[in-house]
A = this chain, B = another copy of it.
């Protein structure tokens, strides 16, 4: 389980820390075998443009990506994706997305054949449901972003954002004990928190001065995690963490 990456190089991080432990070996195999090819991309490269036809579904294998919608003058980042995340399940009904996907740093993408995926939906209810669950988790995160934007000031949004990213990185083993590294710039953070780079800078400074979090060139360091959570109003329950796993026993796979 610790080294699932070796057995399942493309999909080993799918639902890691969430419900992966209840996926049967058979299903892990099937999932891994869906990935027919890989693709690499560099920082800032567009992995997909909104409105275009999707030819493959994708899973993020290495690196990060974000989904965004570019306005005439500004950019809004709607989601942040990490290794193990499915990038475009929401294209299922219309075979296209309503947002762009952009690589954040160097990225490896696993490509899933559309036809085989469609077939899987009919033949593998366990896996189907699991992917659906991933989707619901994504949606829960989206709800939190909405909530955050509605009710928090810029610096508190930032605190919440940092807390969420940190926790999600922990799930897949990419965090340090006192923070994390990230290819995100302050401009990215601004676009994620619905503010301007300039004001984001003030927020970064504020968190630094108050001693809640220190962001410096892609390295975030936190001394008092409880204070961070408190300040940003962060409660991890919406991330479907495994500590809650008693509650989804009914998903226990058949095989």
For A89, A94, A150, the residue with the greatest tally of chain B CB atoms inside 10 Å of its CB is A150
Residue A125 interfacial (CB < 8 Å): yes
Count A-side interface residues using an 8 Å CB cutoff.
47
Residues of B within 8 A of A95 (CB): 247-248, 250
Supplied contacts A89-B136, A146-B146, A146-B149, 11 more A-B pairs, CB within 8 Å: A19-B93, A69-B147, A93-B240, A94-B244, A95-B248, A122-B125, A132-B135, A142-B146, A149-B149, A149-B194, A151-B194
Q: Which of B71, B92, B99, B137 contacts A143 (CB 8 A)?
A: B99
- Chain A at the B interface: SS class: helix
Q: Is the beta-carbon distance between B194 and A78 smaller than 8 angstroms?
A: no
Residues of B within 8 A of A150 (CB): 76, 149, 194
Residues of B within 8 A of A147 (CB): 69, 76, 78
Residue A145 interfacial (CB < 8 Å): yes
Residue A27 interfacial (CB < 8 Å): no
Distance, CA A95 to CA B250, complexed state (A): 10
Q: Is the beta-carbon distance between B125 and A90 smaller than 8 angstroms?
A: no
Residue A177 interfacial (CB < 8 Å): no
Residues of B within 8 A of A237 (CB): 98
Distance, CA A151 to CA B118, complexed state (A): 36
Distance, CA A146 to CA B19, complexed state (A): 27
Known: A139-B90, A140-B98. A118 touches B69 (CB 8 A): no
